[in-house]
Amino acid sequence: MHDLIAAVEPEFAAHFKQIGLLGGRYTKPAERLEEIGFWRQAGSAGARWLIREAEHTSSLTQAWGIADVLASMGAEAVDPIMESLACGASDELADMMLSALGAMSATDVATRADQVAGSLRVFLRHPDESVRSKAAAATSVLPVQSAAAMLQSRLTEETNPDVRAAIQDELDRRS
1 Cα distance to chain centroid: 23
The model's confidence at residue 172, banded by pLDDT at 50, 70 and 90, is very high
Helix (H) or strand (E) segment spanning residue 101: helix 91-102
User: Between the CA of residue 8 and those of 5, 25, 29, 46, what are the distances in Å?
Assistant: 5, 20, 25, 9
In this structure, the dihedral spanned by the alpha carbons of residues 54, 56, 60 and 62, taken in order and rounded to 10 degrees, is -50
Q: Dump pLDDT digits (tens) for 104-123.
A: 999 999 999 999 999 999 99
Q: Which of 87, 141, 89 is nearest to 110 (CA)?
A: 141
The model's confidence at residue 4, banded by pLDDT at 50, 70 and 90, is very low
Q: Is 84 helix (H, G, I), strand (E, B) or coil?
A: helix
Q: Is 13 helix (H, G, I), strand (E, B) or coil?
A: helix
Q: CATH top-level class for 2-173?
A: mainly alpha
Note the pLDDT of residue 62. 82
Least confident of 2-6, 45-49, 61-65, 142-146: 2-6
Note the pLDDT of residue 14. 78
Helix (H) or strand (E) segment spanning residue 105: none
d(CA 45, CA 136): 28
Q: Does position 24 have pLDDT exceeding 60, yes or no?
A: no
Q: Is 175 helix (H, G, I), strand (E, B) or coil?
A: coil
**Cβ atoms within 10 Å, residue 161:** 9
Which of 2-11, 59-68, 130-139 is the most confident on average? 130-139
Q: Which of 151, 86, 161 is nearest to 125 (CA)?
A: 151
The model's confidence at residue 1, banded by pLDDT at 50, 70 and 90, is very low
Note the pLDDT of residue 13. 81
Q: Dump pLDDT digits (tens) for 48-65.
A: 999 998 988 888 888 888
Q: Dump pLDDT digits (tens) for 82-92.
A: 999 999 889 99
